[in-house]
A and B are shown apart, each in its own frame.
Chain A
C-alpha cells in the first residue's frame, strides 16, 4: 500500500504542551493551521446561506461521506488495517437510525449515539477474528462483509424491521422550534456540528498515547508489542472506533435522505470510501473533507461531461488526480503551504 507518510504533518502545530519553547517555524505552522481552520469554518457556515436547498443537501451528503472517510482513515491510515467492508457499518448505522425513528418514534438526535454504540460493538467483534489477517487477506474478509450486507438486509425474517427490499421511509426532521432555518439548512448545520465534534475527537485521539500506539502497530507491529502495546486490544479498538464513525455517518445519511434500502449499501459504497480516503490523503484527517467532496461531486461532474461514458470520465479524473497528487489532497496542501512559507 501507499505508505502513510502524512501522520506527523502537524504534530508540532498548536500543541499546547509543546508551546513552551516552540521554534518560530512551528509557530508559523500554528498560524497557518488556525487560518485554515477559521477559513474552513467561515466557508462551511456560509454555505446554507448562499446556495439553494438541493445544493445545501448535497453539501450535507458530502459531510456525511467525510465522516465515514474519517472513520476509515482511523483504521487504514493510522492503524494500517484495510477494510472493504465499511459499507456494512454504514448500513448498520443507517438502519439503526431508520428503525428507531420508524418503529419507536425516537428523535433523530438520539439515533446517532445508538448507531455509534451498535457499530462500535459490531466493529470491535469483527476486529477480533480479523486480528489474524493481514493486508490483502483482511481486505478479503471485509469484502465478504460488504457482499453479504445487502442480502442480509433483504432477508424475510428481518423484514418486519428492515422493510425488506422496500426499505424504510423516514420523516425529515424539522429544525428546533424558533430556529429560523428550513429543514435542509438545519440538517446541514446539524451534520456539520456532529462532523466537527467527531473530527476534534479523532484529532485528539491520534495525538494521544492511544493514537501513537495505533501508528506504532501500523509501522512495526513487533516493535510495538515489545514496547508494551497490546496488539489485539488496540487493533480491535481501532476497528470498533472506525465502525463507530462510519455508523454515525450512516445514521446521518439515513436522516438526510429520509430513506434506507438494501441496495444503497453495496460494495460500491465501500470502494467509494476507499477512493475518498486515498484522494484526501491516507493518514491525514482533514483529507476526509476532500475525499467526501470527491465521492459526492466527481460522479456528477463525470455525468455532466458524458452521460454514456460517465464511468470512463470518472476513471480519467481519478487517474489524473492520483498522477498529479500522488499522496492525495494531503500532499497537495502541504506543497501549497511550503510555497506560502518560502
Chain B
C-alpha cells in the first residue's frame, strides 16, 4: 500500500482478479479502473468472463486471487448482502425480479439496504415505521415515474412485457441510490428501437443521478455509442482497453469476434 495515490482515485479498481472453477480459468488476472461519472463498457464474446466478473463485484463469487477496491477500500471482506449499502447496485442478465411482487414492491426491496426496520416494529406498525414506509413509497414512486412505469406501478411483475421488466429492474437498482451501477446486458432481448432508447436512458441516468456505470453488453452499437471507455475480454483475459474509437480497431478484438486467424 505504499503506492502514491493518483490525483483522482478511481471509483472502482479491479486488480489482478482471477477466478478458477475446478481448473477452468474463468478470469485470468483482470485489471481496470472506472473513474467517477464514466460509462465503462465491458465487452467480449460469450464465455469471455464478463458475468463472472460482475458476480465478483456483487460478491456472489469470491475471486481466487486479486482484489476489488471500491472508493479505495476492498469489498472482498464483505458478504454479498452488504455490497448494496456501499453504493453498488446491479441488474441481472436475464432479469431477476421478484415475480410475484408488484412493480412498486420490487422497487421498495431495491431500497432495502438504505433503510432500517425490524420484525417487531414492522409487525406493530409503530409511528416511526409508518413514517419510514411513507418516505420509502414516495421515493419509489418518484423513481417509477422517472422510468415511466407509473401506469404499471401496482401491477404484479410476472405478466409485464420483457422490456418493461428490464426497466423495472433498472428502477429497483436505482432505489439503493448507487454510486456505481452494474448493468448486465441491459439490451438483451430488446428490439432495435428499444436499444436506442436504452442508450439515451443510460446516459440520462448517469447525468441526472450522478451514477457511474459499468455496462456489460453484447450489443456493440450500444456500447460504442455511449461508453467513455471500453474494456474487452476474451477467454478470461483483457485483450483491449481504451476509448471506443480505438478499441474497435484493435486486431485482437476483431479476431475474437470474427474468429479469423488465431
Binding partners A and B: yes
> A residues near B, CB below 8 A?
3-5, 7-8, 11-12, 16-18, 26, 201-202, 204-205, 208-213, 215-216, 218-220, 222-231, 237, 241, 283
List 23 contacting pairs A-B, 8 Å CB cutoff, sorted by A.
A7-B101, A8-B105, A26-B154, A208-B125, A208-B129, A209-B117, A209-B122, A210-B118, A210-B122, A212-B101, A213-B112, A215-B101, A215-B105, A219-B99, A220-B99, A223-B92, A223-B98, A225-B81, A226-B58, A227-B84, A228-B82, A228-B83, A237-B119
Give A7 to B158 CA distance when docked, in angstroms: 12
Size of chain B's interface in residues, with CB distance under 8 A? 45
Chain A residues with CB below 8 A from B172, complex form: 227
Q: Mark B137-165, 1 if CB is under 8 A from A, else 0.
A: 10000000000000000101010000000
A204-B125, A209-B122, A212-B108 as given contacts; A228 in contact with B100, CB under 8 Å: no
**Cα–Cα distance between A227 and B130 once the two chains are bound (Å):** 21
Q: How far is the CA of A4 from the CA of B109 in the complex (A)?
A: 18
Contact of A230 with B102 in the complex, beta carbons under 8 Å: no
Let me know if B46 is at the binding interface, CB within 8 A: no
Q: Are A223 and B82 in contact (CB under 8 A)?
A: no
Closest residue of chain B to A283, judged by CB? B100
Name which residue of chain A comes closest to B129, CB basis: A208
Given A18-B137, A227-B176, also A222-B129 (CB < 8 A): no
* Complex contacts, A229 vs chain B, CB 8 Å: 81, 109, 112
Contact A215 B100 (CB under 8 A): yes
Within 8 A of A (CB), among B84-116: 84-85, 90, 92, 96-102, 104-105, 108-110, 112-115
A318 to chain B, nearest CB (A): 25
A209 and B128 CA atoms in complex are apart in Å by 13
Please tell me if B246 contacts chain A, counting CB pairs below 8 Å: no
Q: How far is the CA of A18 from the CA of B109 in the complex (A)?
A: 17
Our pick among A5, A208, A220, A283 for the contact of B96 (Cβ within 8 Å) is: A220
Extra 12 A-B pairs, beta carbons < 8 Å, given A213-B109, A226-B60, A227-B172:
A3-B100, A11-B102, A12-B154, A201-B123, A204-B123, A205-B119, A216-B101, A216-B109, A223-B92, A224-B109, A227-B176, A229-B109
A8 touches B133 (CB 8 A): no
Asked if B80 lies at the interface with its beta carbon under 8 angstroms from chain A, I say yes
Q: In angstroms, how far is the closest chain B Cβ from the Cβ of A49?
A: 32
In the complex, what distance in Å separates the CA atom of A240 from the CA atom of B82? 23
Checking B80, B84, B92, B136 against A209 with a beta-carbon cut-off of 8 angstroms, the contacting residue is B136
Closest 8 CB pairs of A and B: A228-B113, A208-B122, A228-B84, A219-B98, A223-B96, A201-B123, A205-B123, A210-B122
Residues on B with beta carbons closer than 8 Å to the beta carbon of A11: 102, 104-105, 154
Which of A18, A211, A225: most chain B Cβ within 10 A?
A225
Residues 204-231 (chain B) with a chain A CB within 8 angstroms: none
B254 within 8 A of A: no
Could you say which residues of chain A place their CB within 8 Å of the CB of B258? none
Q: Which of A18, A26, A216, A241 contacts B98 (CB 8 A)?
A: A216
Q: Is the CB of B101 within 8 A of A225?
A: no
Q: Is the CB of B110 within 8 A of A227?
A: yes
Instruction: From A208, A213, A219, A228, give the contact of B85 (CB < 8 A).
Output: A228
Does B115 contact A209, Cβ atoms closer than 8 Å? Answer: yes
- Could you tell me if B96 and A222 are in contact, using CB atoms closer than 8 angstroms? yes
* Chain A residue with the shortest CB-CB distance to B96: A223
Q: Is the CB of B81 within 8 A of A212?
A: no
Q: Is B134 an interface residue (CB 8 A)?
A: yes
The answer to whether B122 and A7 have CB atoms under 8 Å apart is no
Contacts of A230 in B (CB 8 A): 81
* Cβ contacts under 8 Å, A223 to chain B: 92, 96-98
Q: Are B100 and A219 interface neighbours, CB within 8 A?
A: yes
Cβ–Cβ < 8 Å partners of B97 in chain A: 219-220, 223
